[in-house]
Amino acid sequence: MSVLITNNSSKVRIKWLASVTSDAWLQQALAHPIELLIDHAHCERKAAGAALQMMFRYLCEPGLAEALSPLVREELEHFECVLEILKSRGRYLEPLHAPPYGAVLAKSIRGVEPERMLDSFLVAGLIEARSHERMSLLASNCPDIELANLYRDLLTSEARHFGIYWTLAEERFDRKVITSRLQELAAVEAETLIELHCAPRMHS
Amino acid sequence: MSVLITNNSSKVRIKWLASVTSDAWLQQALAHPIELLIDHAHCERKAAGAALQMMFRYLCEPGLAEALSPLVREELEHFECVLEILKSRGRYLEPLHAPPYGAVLAKSIRGVEPERMLDSFLVAGLIEARSHERMSLLASNCPDIELANLYRDLLTSEARHFGIYWTLAEERFDRKVITSRLQELAAVEAETLIELHCAPRMHS
């Protein structure tokens, strides 16, 4: 799962994602760079929280904690980078109304094991994949050089994080079961993004 | 709050702690080094979880996230170190029955703000201070050189973490209010340790 993307000028098509981000999203995002940056800080800390929660839930599962703990640390490093830029521009974290994206995906996680574990890996992976796609768009199109560089620096990690979740799934589940469920979840993920959210968000 | 300890041969007296760890605890801990190590891994990940939870609760409080996020990362680094040693000895994380220590201290945190915030800082700080004291004992007395070195490497961080929580408190509360409440909570902390827990734990 090392190759996640196939490049196509500034627009990238991410393997596994069931849709390509719309131009309307990009225009909305570019028009509100600081609000998007604050939202991105929230995304990084939420990704850290979700991975830590997963690590705690399956704590005695061999091979899981040593994969997830460094991932949590990296999400927090990114959170701190974003916070630094916000502060350098006289801003800080602000409460933002969350789009339905995360809640819809969380609801798609089945409640019984081992399906719950598989879905948790795949949902987390899909969110990372979508972040990667959108950061690629921002890195190529954001006129603010500092922000474009930030997104460029972060986007490779998002792809790597998808790979970590994919590997965790592959070590524990049959490849056919994984790809079939990933396609189902990718369809849900794409559906939540069909209607553009009223506010600029990384996952709206 | 840079000087946390006054040294007295292998036994250290930690400023703010209302009691000194008993010899009975040390003997129990030394007799079960691997169980203590597994418990210590749990302590590091719980400390990370508690700090992240605090960061999420007070997310828009300026100066908090940038202090707590690196602290969470460091706790997780320590967790990974301990896990590595466990794995090198053919062991892994195991579910352990928790002593009442954490739950008793959590109950002492008042429910209304800003008292809740102050108590959260002080309780977290006291746990770090106790860890520091006990790791000093283990570093000086553990006959297993690898484990003694591990505890020696980690103990200075515990003192620094106490300092972080102290600073967070001092930036937001009156010094007299802090020291008075810290004494009260330190008395509770010491009381939970009077009776030695049946199983070897870092905080028992």
Cβ of B37: how many Cβ atoms within 10 Å?
21
As its CATH architecture, domain A22-192 has Up-down Bundle (1.20)
State pLDDT tens for residues A103-156.
Answer: 999 999 999 999 999 999 999 999 999 999 999 999 999 999 999 999 999 988
Residues in B whose CB is inside 8 Å of some CB of A read 45, 48-49, 52, 55-56, 59-60, 62, 65-66, 69-70, 72-73, 76-77, 79-80, 83-84, 87, 92-95
Residue A204 has pLDDT above 90, yes or no: no
Interface of A with B (CB under 8 A): 45, 48-49, 52, 55-56, 59-60, 62, 65-66, 69-70, 72-73, 76-77, 79-80, 83-84, 87, 92-95
Q: What ipTM was estimated for this complex?
A: 0.91
The CA distances from residue A127 to A7, A26, A52, B56, B146, in Å, are 19, 17, 16, 20, 40
Predicted local distance difference test score (pLDDT) of residue A8:
44
Average pLDDT estimate for B168-179:
97
Residues A47 and A75: beta-carbon distance below 8 Å: yes
**B96 residue type, one letter:** L
Torsion of CA B105, B107, B110, B115, to 10 degrees: 20
Alpha helices by DSSP H, B108-144: 115-141
The 10s digit of each residue's pLDDT in A4-35 is 444 444 555 677 899 999 999 999 999 999 99
Q: What sign does the dihedral A9-A14-A127-A2 (CA atoms) show?
A: negative
User: Residue B162 is encoded by which pair of tokens?
Assistant: 């106490």
User: Taking CB atoms and an 8 Å limit, are A95 and B60 in contact across chains?
Assistant: yes
DSSP string for A105-144: HHHTS-SSTTHHHHHHHHHHHHHHHHHHHHHHHHHHH-S-
Q: Could you give phi then psi for residue B123, rounded to 5 degrees?
A: -65, -45
Which residues of chain B does A69 touch, with a Cβ-Cβ cutoff of 8 Å? 45, 76, 79-80, 83
Size of interface A-B (CB pairs under 8 A): 69
* Residues ≥6 apart with Cβ < 8 Å to B114: B172, B173
pLDDT at res. B56: 96
Among candidate residues A132, A129, A151, A131, the one with its CA nearest the CA of residue A82: A151
CB contact under 8 A, B83 and A92: no
Tokens 């106790």 — which residue? Answer: B130
Contacts of B39 (CB under 8 A, 6+ apart): B96, B200, B201, B202
Residue A195 pLDDT level (bands cut at 50, 70, 90): confident
Give yes or no for residue B180 having a pLDDT over 80.
Answer: yes
**Nearest residue, CB atoms, B73 vs list A66, A77, A84:** A77
Judge if pTM exceeds 0.90: yes
